[in-house]
């Protein structure tokens, strides 16, 4: 090997060794260097602005929309048993029926839908009484057929209202049966007989009264005739004794004759009136005394009462199968199991109320904030539907109506019947006005609040120069999204100040201090 080549190789080895030494030296660090490089980065503050806003502690929940529960309508027993229950009319599926509408028709006989809570549990006849009759009277009155006083008594006014209702619907009510009509005829005959007996006694007593008046008159005439005779005789006797009763002078022969004729006439009148009196007395004796009319009057009144009682039953009967009662109208026909011409038996159709309702629930605490009648907002975003409604039912006990033991059942009625909402799950917001801040207040995220050792609540404010200060506050209402109303107790705090909600180390936030979306 030449000297030049040896020099080059030696130089390369030195360079390589130097390079290895440099690399090794660059990788070797002192403990102080290592400690300095591994020290955690200085923490930075996460802050949000203090806001001024209205805090309204709305109750937000969800609910399932439904129409009223379906109800099966079964084939009723016909009021005329000998008829076969052939279907002669049924409504179409989806049809809505108002109160008073024809629900279906069997063998030409109607069944009407009326509003009420009770079913007719019997065939009602005139004279019957009960709660079901009062309900029927109320329904008839609401449909414009006056039943008189709503007293639960089926009387003539109710019968007239029923006739009017049937006639308005194009039907005739079912009248009384033949046995009742036969009884009416029997009672009418009894009344006729009692009236004849009463009239006979009444006529007899009238005849007795007439005869007695005739005797009284004849006796008075006879007494007057006798008195006239006695006077005529006294006048004649005075003249015969020499003094005329009228002139006081001695009478002439002609004057004596006139006075004698007056006596003769008076004697004739006495005889005539005596004979008339005897005839009147004979007639009165023949008629006999008056009779007590009381028994005949009582018998006639009783017969008339019995007839009125039977006739009161002549009004139309109300078969339980011709009136079905539903709580809410209109009702919807959901399905029909028969068609015209079928012989009905079992279920005829399914109907439901057209009332759209929402079954929902709230926590027990939220239940204390709401009441029946409160207004709500209903939202279904996928159908872009938003409408208002009203709380119609709030259960008094938790865990009822199929909700959890720690929840309160709530029913809500939308203001509009939107069929497309049926069977959907919707968002419900219940503004709780009594829990509102009533105006704009200072508010911070709940994460900005912390407690001191003495139990005070503070927020930490970042000053413009990066320093911080603590401000004592009193928290108030909270709102959805985590914002909390605050009132300053000690220190200064204004809208726009930045309060600390957490710390960030090397891009990582400390636990529970996520940056609020609205910060």
pLDDT tens for 424-437 read 999 999 987 555 56
Lowest mean pLDDT among 18-27, 261-270, 455-464: 18-27
Between CA 214 and CA 221, with CA 219 as vertex, the angle to 5 degrees is: 95
Residue 2 has pLDDT above 60, yes or no: no
Residues 6+ apart with CB under 8 A from 43: 503, 504, 505
Which residues on neighbouring strands pair with residue 113, listed in sequence order?
324
Mapping DSSP onto H, E and C, the string for 473-507 reads EEEEEECCCCEEEEEEEECCCCCCCEEEEEEEECC
**Dmax of the chain from CA atoms?**
237
Mean pLDDT of 362-390: 92
Residue 475 has pLDDT above 90, yes or no: no
Residue 193 has pLDDT above 50, yes or no: yes
Residues 6+ apart with CB under 8 A from 245: 234, 235, 238, 239, 259
Joined tokens for residue 499? 């309060």
Note the helical H segments in 50-130: none
Mean pLDDT of 61-89: 89
- Banded pLDDT at 417 (limits 50, 70, 90): confident
Cα–Cα distance, 412 to 357 (Å, whole number) = 6
Residue 142 has pLDDT above 60, yes or no: yes
- Banded pLDDT at 18 (limits 50, 70, 90): very low
- Banded pLDDT at 311 (limits 50, 70, 90): confident
Distances (CA, A) of 432 to 42, 122, 193, 377, 489: 45, 49, 80, 12, 27
The bridge status of strand 323-326 relative to strand 109-115 is parallel
Scored b (16 or more CB within 10 A) or e, 60-76 reads: ebebebbbbeeeebebb
pLDDT given for residue 35 in this prediction: 54
Cα–Cα distance, 169 to 98 (Å, whole number) = 13
Mean pLDDT of 382-405: 93
Name which residue leads in pLDDT, 512 or 302.
302
249-258 residue pLDDT tens: 999 999 999 9
- Banded pLDDT at 14 (limits 50, 70, 90): very low
208-227 residue pLDDT tens: 999 999 999 999 999 999 99
Lowest mean pLDDT among 18-22, 301-305, 369-373, 404-408: 18-22
Tell me which H or E stretch contains 89. strand 87-89
pLDDT given for residue 513 in this prediction: 40
Mean pLDDT of 129-156: 94
94-124 residue pLDDT tens: 898 999 999 999 999 999 999 998 888 888 8
DSSP SS3 for 334:
strand
pLDDT given for residue 38 in this prediction: 56
Contact of 447 with 409, CB cutoff 8 Å: no
Q: What is the mean pLDDT of the chain?
A: 86
Residue 1 has pLDDT above 80, yes or no: no
Cα–Cα distance, 186 to 307 (Å, whole number) = 9
pLDDT given for residue 519 in this prediction: 33
Name which residue leads in pLDDT, 129 or 519.
129
Residue 487 has pLDDT above 50, yes or no: yes
pTM: 0.48
């Amino acid at each position: 090997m030449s000297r030049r080549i040896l020099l080059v190789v030696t130089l390369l080895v030195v360079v390589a060794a130097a390079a290895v030494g440099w690399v090794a030296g660059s990788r070797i660090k002192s403990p102080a260097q290592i400690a300095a490089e591994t020290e955690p980065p200085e923490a930075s503050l996460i802050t949000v602005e203090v806001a001024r806003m209205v805090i309204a502690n709305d109750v937000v929940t969800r609910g399932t929309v439904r129409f009223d529960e379906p109800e099966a309508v079964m084939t009723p027993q016909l009021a005329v048993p000998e008829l076969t229950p052939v279907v002669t009319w049924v409504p179409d599926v989806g049809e809505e029926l108002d109160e008073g509408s024809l629900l279906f028709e069997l063998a030409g006989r109607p069944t009407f839908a009326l509003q009420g809570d009770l079913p007719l549990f019997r065939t009602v006849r005139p004279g019957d009484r009960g709660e079901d009759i009062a309900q029927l009277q109320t329904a008839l009155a609401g449909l414009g057929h006056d039943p008189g006083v709503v007293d639960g008594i089926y009387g003539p006014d109710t019968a007239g209202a029923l006739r009017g209702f049937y006639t308005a619907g194009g039907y005739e009510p079912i009248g009384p049966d033949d046995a009742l009509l036969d009884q009416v005829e029997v009672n009418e005959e009894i009344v006729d007989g009692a009236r004849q007996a009463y009239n006979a006694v009444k006529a007899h007593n009238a005849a007795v009264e007439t005869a007695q008046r005739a005797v009284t008159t004849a006796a008075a005439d006879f007494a007057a005739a006798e008195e006239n005779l006695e006077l005529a005789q006294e006048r004649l006797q005075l003249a015969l004794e020499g003094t005329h009763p009228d002139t006081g002078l001695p009478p002439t022969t002609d004057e004596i004759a006139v006075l004698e004729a007056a006596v003769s006439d008076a004697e004739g009148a006495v005889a005539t009136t005596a004979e008339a009196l005897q005839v009147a007395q004979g007639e009165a004796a023949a008629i006999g005394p008056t009779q007590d009319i009381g028994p005949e009057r009582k018998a006639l009144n009783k017969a008339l009462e019995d007839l009125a009682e039977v006739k009161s039953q002549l009004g139309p009967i109300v078969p339980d199968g011709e009136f079905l009662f539903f709580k809410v109208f209109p009702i919807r026909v959901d399905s029909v199991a028969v068609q015209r011409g079928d012989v009905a038996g079992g279920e005829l159709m399914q109907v439901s109320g057209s009332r759209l309702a929402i079954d929902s629930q709230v926590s027990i605490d939220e239940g204390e904030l709401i009441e029946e009648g409160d207004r709500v907002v209903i939202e279904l975003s996928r159908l872009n539907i938003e409408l208002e409604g009203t709380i119609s039912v709030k259960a008094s006990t938790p865990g009822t109506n199929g909700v959890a033991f720690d929840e309160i059942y709530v029913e809500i009625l939308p203001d509009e019947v939107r069929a497309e909402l049926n069977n959907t799950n919707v968002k419900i917001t219940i503004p709780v006005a009594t829990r509102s801040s009533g105006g704009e207040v200072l508010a911070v995220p709940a994460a900005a609040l912390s407690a001191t050792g003495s139990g005070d609540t503070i927020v930490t404010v970042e000053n413009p120069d990066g320093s911080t200060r603590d401000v004592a506050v009193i928290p108030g209402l909270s709102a959805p999204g985590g914002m909390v109303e605050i009132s300053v107790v000690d220190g200064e705090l204004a809208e726009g100040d930045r309060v600390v909600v957490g710390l960030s180390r090397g891009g990582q936030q400390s636990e529970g201090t996520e940056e609020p979306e609205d910060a």
